[in-house]
Amino acid sequence: MLLPKSNTPRWIVMVIDLFLSAFALIFAYLIRFDLKADEAVIQEEWDILSKSIIVYFVVKFLVFYTFRIHKGLVRHTSTEDLRRIFLASVTSSVIFFVLGLVRFHYVDQYYLLPTSVLLMEFLASFMLLLGLRFFIKLIYLESIKGKNIENRVLIYGAGISGLITKRTIEKSAESTEKIVGFLDDSKKMSGNRLEGLTIYHTAQLEKIIEREKVSKLIIAIQEPDGNNRKQVVEICLKHNVSVQKVPSTKSWINGEFSTKQIAKIKINDLLGRKPIKLGEEKIKGELSGQVILISGAAGSIGSGLVRQIAPYHPEKIVLLDQAESPLYDLQNELKSDFPQLEFEVVIGDIRSYKRMKNLFETFKPRFIFHAAAYKHVPLMENNPSEAVLTNVLGTRNLVDLALENEVYKFVMISTDKAVNPTNVMGASKRIAEIYAQAKNAKNKTKFITTRFGNVLGSNGSVIPLFQRQIENGGPITVTDERVTRFFMTIPEACQLVLEAGVMGDGGEIFVFDMGDSVKIIDLAKKMIKLSGLELGKDIEIKVTGLRPGEKLFEELLAKEENTLATHHPQILKAKIRESELSRADSVHELIELFETQDNMVIVRKMKEIVPEFISNNSDFEQLDNK
């Protein structure tokens, strides 16, 4: 049965509602007389009713119009419509009762409607008005079910969000999906039914996919357990089931969402874990009311730190970066999201000592989070002098000024590529670590280092690159099938940095337990599947060969470093080798070599400072043989 494509005119809905009310009144009289009233009784009742029947319809019309029960879309009747119809019915009955008292005492000693009729008319009218609407809604839902079904869908999450997702899909005229059941992590809910659909436990997923021929899974849990979500997605990818997710409730429009908002799951959701929650009170105690300088504030980690620190109510955050446009965007974001935050935007280059000196004298920071650096391995391999200027000289400037101005803590953001470096970028960061750690002995400032691997979604990382290549139709380029990397989320990285800033006493290198490393080629294959494409048919993967200085496997701790446990099981602490501290003086000599613009001379000096720096697939390998 098909319903009209256009909405029924509102006056027709009003006429039908009045007709149903009249029918309810007649039904109430019939019930009053047990369906056995003779002609004389009917005539007597009509003589009484006929004098007030106009009043009945006028009251019904005015009340229905006031409560706007004719305005709702009948095919989409909701609990809000039910509420309005109930209030309209109650209001009408109350008015009839009051008018009945007026008629009895001041007109002809007859009530507008007998009490029994009044009660039955209320019930019959309410049920008819509501029943018709739900009957039409049922017809509508059945009519849209008759279309071609393209996907058999399983909803992951049997809570409120999952239920709303089911109803949204079923209401959508454009949807070509059939919900076959719910999936949930709770064993207690397994086997129960929700709106006629069975709830299955996640352990049954593979069986359900095969039995119900599931072609799509929608994640409707707002904050799913990271491990469970990963396992569910892995199973779906294995069986070529597409995976989508319901957006955060914050992005729902007026508290509701449409099927158009259901999006494909991203690789970040598969690799990322829950951000670590650490010493909130201690972090707040140290950062609240302090002036905090963040270098590289416009970058992925720098801006993430700003967002993490803002809720702790610092006196001021100084945002230092030379990237004008990203700083401008960050400034606008902070004004919108943190209107009470005091911050200062400083365009400046950490390589300029005079500029940095002026900055320190002007703002007198107590905390420094140093995230500014060049990080791209191939670019730095071709430009060693620039790597030295920014990553080494820039760090030296900030370190020396921190000591001179007696900054309380200096937290340096480093990289896993600084461990047994095979490239110029990693070696430059290792030298920066050595310099900062050596200055820690001065005891004026506590210098702390944090190391982590690749950050999901950061500027220039592999995932945005793969995404662009997929959008362009490929091929996806992988340097080597054996390459593996560690991954972490931006919130995880920022939490680690903040925790290091609080728990560090100076001289430590903090490392986050990042779990297992991930093969980059497997990452590419998963991204292809998550995009709904088929490897070898829709898109190709091309192996291009290792880039200069690139490692097959990254490390977080050098072999000679001692690893110690901390109060948090996911955070390790490594003490720097004392023998390296004496090499800090060589940093000045390295920086002076910039004037030569001789890459071989510069890199040779870097290898002297960091003996474990062994170049890989690079022109600088010849220096390792001498």
Burial class (CB in 10 A: 0-12, 13-18, 19+), 410: buried
> Rounded to an integer, what distance in angstroms lies between the CA atom of residue 110 and that of residue 245?
64
> Rounded to an integer, what distance in angstroms lies between the CA atom of residue 102 and that of residue 105?
5
Catalytic residue, from 266, 417, 429, 551: name it. 417
Cα three-residue angle 519-521-524, rounded to 5 degrees: 115
Whether the CA torsion 419, 421, 422, 427 is positive or negative: it is: positive
Q: Which residue has the tokens 């490393």?
A: 517
- What residues contact residue 390 under an 8 Å CB cut-off, 6+ apart? 350, 351, 372, 373, 374
What DSSP designation does 200 have? E
Provide the total of helices (H) and of strands (E) in the chain, helices listed first.
23, 22
β-pair type (151-156, 216-219):
parallel
Q: Which residues, listed in sequence order, are joined to residue 18 by a DSSP beta bridge? A: none
Burial class (CB in 10 A: 0-12, 13-18, 19+), 98: exposed
Q: Are 520 and 527 in contact (CB under 8 A)?
A: no
417 carries an active-site annotation:
yes
DSSP secondary structure letters along 59-120: HHHHHHHHHTTTTS-GGG--HHHHHHHHHHHHHHHHHHHHHHHHHHHHTSS--SS-HHHHHH
**Where is 306: in which H helix or E strand?**
helix 300-309
As a whole number of Å, the CA-based R_g of the chain is: 35
Active site residues: 417
